[in-house]
Homo-oligomer: A and B are copies of this chain.
């Protein structure tokens, strides 16, 4: 009973923290600000989360869990490989647009994100993503759309390349505090172009 109330409160805190993290970034958000947003004292905030890192971790977990869920849902309802992958790319772009200020797993984050636990969280997510992709490829292969190939290696390359295109555009080509819409569009286009070639390389002939 009371445990559920506590959980509910925790979720409220996570939601509030997320708003500030996503807009101002993690370093530029203080525990006091989050507490104030909730009309709570900082001490109370610390009653629910023992330290800032654990709150960041909870927020990260929240959005990444949702991120993976979205991908799963999309791939499950996809009628063919290409359509599924296109949707996957769009989900990634949307996620990036929403949360780039948090610098999750882009190697650019502030000190907090150098934390070991957060690194592990990202590794987990990347692995989950790959498992989803592998399952999807296997399914499409069984449906006869894809040719016989090394699914582990191929899905790995696919995710590497998608992330690589992202990082290259945002952190190498046009490094800015806040990426422009053009940059996101560029990434999307590049990913889709890549998908086209990739698809021709793995489809059944």
A residues adjacent to B (C-beta < 8 A):
105-107, 153-154, 156-157, 160-161, 163-168, 171-173, 175, 190, 193-194, 196-202, 205
Contact = CB atoms under 8 A, between A and B. Distances in A.
Given A157-B194, A164-B161, A194-B157, A107 B172 contact: yes
Contacts of A105: 172
Q: Which 10 A-B pairs have the closest CB atoms?
A: A164-B164, A201-B201, A200-B201, A107-B172, A164-B168, A197-B201, A107-B171, A164-B165, A167-B167, A157-B193
A153 B197 CA distance: 10
A172 B165 contact: no
Nearest to A159: B168
Q: How many copies are assembled?
A: 2
A152 to B, nearest CB: 11
A107 B175 contact: yes
Nearest to A158: B197
Nearest to A162: B164
Given A164-B161, A171-B167, A197 B202 contact: yes
A139 to B, nearest CB: 19
19 contacts: A107-B171, A107-B175, A154-B193, A157-B190, A160-B165, A160-B168, A161-B194, A163-B168, A164-B167, A167-B167, A167-B171, A167-B172, A196-B201, A197-B198, A198-B198, A198-B201, A200-B200, A200-B201, A205-B205
A186 to B, nearest CB: 10
A106 B167 CA distance: 10
